[in-house]
Amino acid sequence: METLRFYDELPPMECFSGDTLPAFEIKPEGITGFSAGSMVMLVEEHQIAGAVALCKAAGFVEDTVLGQHFRVQLTSEDTSQLCGTYRLHFILTVGGTDYEKLTGTLHVRRKVRAAS
């Protein structure tokens, strides 16, 4: 299935392996009925297209501040498995059609341990 690209670009991000990142709150604009859809965040190796290191499902949330949106977060457990540069892809699926809603680059560094 072809992925339609109606996306925004995140600024480059950086973290250490083992960090928990702030939650991503994604409110799809211009698509009706997205609450009946689903969203995943793919963490793909930057230099190898299609090499997915991690796939996380986003939860559907409805609150008084943001209204209906999707929420997903990279936890310490997720980032502890990563090191290097990755491309994040937020893919919304509605009615059998995939929409790439958001992309960005994430640099994950290993923590340097002090010599004892």
- DSSP code per residue over 95-107: TTEEEEEEEEEEE
Contact present, 24 and 41 (Cβ < 8 Å): yes
Query: How many folded domains does the chain comprise?
Result: 1
pLDDT, greater one: 116 or 67: 67
Domain harbouring 100, CATH code? 2.60.40.10
pLDDT tens sequence across 66-108:
778 899 999 999 999 999 999 999 998 888 888 888 899 999 9
> Which residue reads 């680059």 in tokens?
105
The answer on pLDDT for 7 being more than 70 is no
In a domain, 116, yes or no: no
The whole domain housing 88 covers 3-109
pLDDT score, position 1: 42
